[in-house]
Each structure stands twice: as C-alpha cells, then as structure tokens.
Structure 1
C-alpha cells in the first residue's frame, strides 16, 4: 500500500549502478546552494540514508566525476548504527531518463555546532544540551570531547593527503550531546590526487586564512587552510566568540567585518593587539581562566 502511494507521488529515482528504485518524500527537508535533501521512504534498508538532489545548473560533468571519485574512495565506516564523522557520498541517483541528478549518503544526526559557538544556549533547548552551557560545571569536559572528535576526524582526512575541505565551518558540523560529530557538505571538498584535481565549491570569509586575501585566486588549497578554520571553530567552541571579534582603532578603525580583521591580521591575542584594538568582548578577556580550566579538565580526563 505504501509503495503504491510513493508511486502516485512520482518521487522515484534509481541507483545508477544497480537500477534499484528509490522512493523519496514529496518535499525536501532542507535546501542549500547546491541542492535539496530528501528523506528516503523506501526501500526500508535505506531509512538511515538521505538523498541529495542537485539544482539543475549544478549537475555538471565535473560534479559527477567528483562524486564518482569520492564514492570509489570511501573513508572508514563508523560502527553499525553510528553516524560516521564524514557524511560521505555512497551512490549516485538518476531519474527515469537516465540523467544523474543526485546521490545517497548517510543521514546526519544532531544540531549544528554553531549552536555551541555562541555565548549562551537558547532558552528552549532539550535538557541533554543544557549541560553544555558555559555556566555548567562539566561544560568544558564535554566541549573538549567534541573538540577531540573534530580534530581526530580532520587528522584522519589529512592523512589521505588528497583532500582539503576548504569550507570547514561550524555550520557544516553536526554534533550530538554525547560529543559525536558529523561533517557535512563533503561533496564540495577539494580533491588532488595525481593528475586528478577537483576544486572546492566555496570558502566562507570568516573561516578563511589571511593568505586568501593576499592571493584571492588561490588555485589549490593546502591542509593548513583547514587548520586555520579548525582553530577558529575551536576558539568559538571554547569561548563562544570569534577570535577576531573586537573593536579596532586608529588606522584599522574602518575594519568592521570579521573577514576585514582577518585580512588585516587583527588577532586579539597578538602581542601588539593593544596598539590596534579598542575594545575586547568579555569572553575574550576570559582566555586566562579558560586556559586554567582546560589544564585541570585535561588532567582529569587523562
């Protein structure tokens, strides 16, 4: 009965490799610049997967070749029932005309890490998340666990020596209350493997390293690019604010946006920061307290 209902809705695609029919929900549950995400209704074995359908102008030969590369070079799978750290493409989907228009990938769980990168958690939030609020005694311990999982995942990816995420940011990381993380939008990654090279789709200014503004036409990004973004994410995770978020003065007074401050090198903990910064937000002033708390917490964990 249910399958007939899916058929009536005509949301039917096929796995390119096996031609197996996949029935999707009639409406997307999320959309972005490249495409939309749909729940898979049938077959049941794909209930822990989702389908990403690309916008027509994104269905290029280069994108399909990139997906094919990723599918044939899978990362280590997580344990059964546990979402992997990277939401990696698994299979290409095509329509009845044989046009390849999307992919299947694991279903990511959790909330965007950006939620934990703010000074305060929303008032209306599940109890499981409240222990991560900055005013909770064990908050630092749980945040350190998230940080460890994120660093470990990126370290594993970089050991492959062919991938750079480029658009690594808190919005592209889903986290669960127990510290597990899932990095999404992996299909936008930069790939460099011998003669094969695929560009990354986009970079986000407030997570972009200073060299981006010196050389805005960078063709190939190095792993250090992701390391800079990681540092920004960890700073926000532990202090609830961006490491370049401060009021500038003098010749830098016109630098208002975060990316302008990154371009100018106005890092708030620079030895000469007092010469160019006018005001430091309270979370940044708490850096010393955080360092002491971090040492104590790490000692307990180890």
Structure 2
C-alpha cells in the first residue's frame, strides 16, 4: 500500500466503528450497542483536505482475558498498530477514563506511534463535562479531542489532527480489482484469505459466524492492486437471526454487488448444496465474474494423490 495507514483502536463499545463510518460517510462497519461486534481489521480508503489514507477499524481490545476470541482480537489490534503510520485511540467521554484505556495508552506510548486521542460520545460540545474531559489528559497521549461520532460534531478537528501526523509524499493509489470471497458459514473463507495474504490477517475460529462484517484487505500480486473482501457466511433466509446476523447478510450482499470477481468457496467434504447455488446466483445477478473454489479438498477421500500446492 502506497498510502499512509491510520488505525482506530480502543476498548470494546467506545464507538470506534461509528467514528469509522462517520469519516467514510457510509456504514461499512456494523454498529450495535454491545461489545464484540467488530472482530477483524477493516480497511477503507478515506480522504480529508486533499490527503488520502487508509482508515482501519479494529475490534475492542481487552487485556489479560482468557477468552479465545478476546486473544484473537487483541492480536489483530496489535498488528494494526504495528502496521499503522498513525493511531486514533477512542475513549468514552460519558463513562470517563477506564483501566483498559490506560493499558492501551501505555502500549501506544511504548510503540511511539503518533496518536490522536478521541473522546467520543460528547453530544454537547458547548457544555463538555470538564472534569471527565481533563481526566483523559492522564492517559499521556496529548490533548483529548471531544467528538460526537453520531452527529459528526468535532470530527473535523480529529481529522485535521490525523492528517497532521501523516508522512509526506505518499504515492497515488490506482483502482484495485475487488475480489469478494463468499460462501456458506464455516466453509473456511477467512482461513482461505489468510493463506492468500500469507499472514493471519483475519480472525479464524471453528465457530460459525466468526466473521460479521465484509472485511476489505488490500494486497499486491505481481504488481497488480487487489482488494480481497472476506464476507460473513450466507445462510438460508429463514435461518437468519435478527440483529447482527441480519446486517451481516446485507453487508455480504452489498460486497457482492461491489465486487469485480467473486470466489465462491464450497466445502468439498459436503459437495454442492442448494444454498451454494443460491449464493452463486447472487453473484451472477450482480454481473461479476465467478470462480468456484473447492475448499477442504485434502479431507476428501480419493483414489489419486493431490498436489500440495
């Protein structure tokens, strides 16, 4: 990627995805009023005052947790920070400083990444709770910038601060080929994308439904710019739960509509199911190219050996 990268980090449910969506002017990340909705790193191209950069939404970071999902999300957040040119730490202005805020801020100071401290959920900027606002100075990340991500108030000041931290002289980003990886739940879409990228970019679990958003991941292959889009698994309409899963299915269908090519992953151990055909039909109706990928082929009993690569 030639453009600078800005990672948005923070503890769970402080409004990271809401700010991410506000900057981009569209709902690319699912927003719900409970922690743990965002799990993977989600890349999107942003622009402010003529400066273009990648904005990266991340999951809520929890330290010292024994939960496997929390550990996977934490690893993704640390990688996002390591790859970023600048970081935005989001904190909750209504709740005030939290022990997790201090732990994240301590880590950011140790990395010496340029950081903007965003105090979210400050709906009335003219009557900011002065005590709570000033307490955030104790995080040691510089001036806390109050924002209401839902209304957009204060977002311009944060974006000005972000642009001021970015390195000069980034190159122009050419249009990239968008490749959506689609299929039923738990057919191995995230593992497949990780293998293509050569790194653990996406959270992988045996639990169906681990991927909730349509996750954009830029990469280069032989000089060509690509954006791989890992998507939530599409179940039969009658089985879709209301809430997060409903919005996940909408994001997946939207990702198909925006894609140039779709890779339809099918579980080779199960064969082609009716739902696979319905998903393929969605790609055909969207007018994008379609490639069928038989995943888990190594688990299929066969008379002849299969090449490892």
- The answer to whether TM tops 0.5 is no
Q: Which is richer in helix?
A: 1
Question: For this structure pair, what is the TM-score category when the shorter chain's length is used for normalisation?
Answer: under 0.3
Which of the pair has the greater relative contact order for Cα pairs under 8 Å at 6+ separation?
A: 2
Q: Select the structure of larger CA radius of gyration.
A: 1
With the length of structure 2 as denominator, give the TM-score of the two structures.
0.27
